[in-house]
Structure 1
Amino acid sequence: MVDPFVFDFLSQLKANNNRDWFNDNKAFYMEAKASFEQSMQHFIDMVYAVDPSVGVLTPKDCVFRIYRDTRFAKDKSPYKTNMGGFVAKGGRKSSLAGYYLHVEPGASMVAGGSYCPPADVLKAIRKEIYNFADEYKAIIHDEKFTRVFPQLFEDKLKRPPKGFPKDFEDIDLLKYKSFAPLHFASDSELIGEKASAHVRSIIEVLEPHNSFINRGILAEEDEIVL
């Protein structure tokens, strides 16, 4: 699934996160980048096979830049120490729920859903959960889902979100700021012959969740157009 060469590059970059080292090792980076893009194409193909609603995509549509935006960051390290890509209809900038592959030595993950969506998208997701709470709970409480994604989400509001009744039985679900299931993966889980099957199994568990979330987002968009 992912070539160990990519992990090697990222490990060395973490130990030498400066422009001089990066420029001196540009060929190393380009080879690692090309290798990761091959892995990303494989990931895209697996996602499409499970969830064709993402449409036809290429690594260029999905892969994030390795260069960090340090303008407002305390950490001025110029480069990310990971490679990642987000697969959703429209690519990495999509407002829809999708599938995320993150490769980082000791901190890799296969994740997805909707992470820190803008206010209008977040409201649409909450509205869908409010209207179909039992359906959503059946997805996130499914045995396979809880095994693959043992921790639900992080970052919750302290108070119920505006526009929803405070006495709603499942109000805690509406307090989340993101709806992004996350599966931490060891380096070994992403390397070797068994990696593809493992990653695909995660995608299959994630698909019902994403489809539910996207149904709400798209329904809200249709209402706005009408």
Structure 2
Amino acid sequence: MDLVVGRACTYRDYSAYKQSMGAYRGTEVMNRTLWKLLQYAILFAGAAILLLPLWWMLVVSLETPERAGAAITGGTDLSLWPPSPQWGNYPQALREMGSVPWQGFLNALANSIVVTVLVVIGTVLSSSLVGFAFARIRFRGSRGLFLLMLSTMMLPGQVTIIPLFLLFRNLGWIDSLLPLIVPAFFGNAFFIFMYRQFIAQIPESLLEAAKVDGYTLLGIWWRIILPLCRPVTAICAV
């Protein structure tokens, strides 16, 4: 009899415990759901605030010149979407760049493509090569040179803009694309640091095996280091 009563009490206690745990878990799930909803609401509000100027710019660009001018000066309020979008504003603006129709836009597009491609290539090649040297080549003063290179990141652009202008003027590079392209082939301190930290994590045994196979340092850098540094290269290119 005592055994039956004990089992009944144990069953009732277990049932009460199970119900209380179920209620606790339900409350916990509800709290997590509410917290996630609050987070999403905050993120949505922040995204809306950041996108509002872009939306306003798009709406103004599709308005007529009269309504756009009045909206910019505060003379009228804009609707969420223009009643009659002027899609011809974009080709008209691109066509009227420069004295010859479309020539100004095409020249600007070509210059942007040339500068972007060459700057990306120069930055990736030079920064990865210097980062490889700092990470794997041991020579006297390498640590001091690395710290000196890092210290250049603390120089603001306002300090070097006048010396760079004088240098480019003496080289005859004014009114050309060379000042935008050539410095990229001398490395970037931040990307050199990123490449150096990434290359330092590559196992030394992999490089030793490449040396046994007859690769030189340049061969190791080109055939092994660069392919392994694709994540850093993607960041550098973007």
TM-score bracket, shorter-length normalisation:
under 0.3
- Give the structure-1-normalised TM-score: 0.26
Structure ranking higher in strand proportion: 1
- Give the structure-2-normalised TM-score: 0.25
Answer with 1 or 2: which has the greater Rg.
2
- Higher relative CO (Cα under 8 Å, sequence separation at least 6) belongs to 1
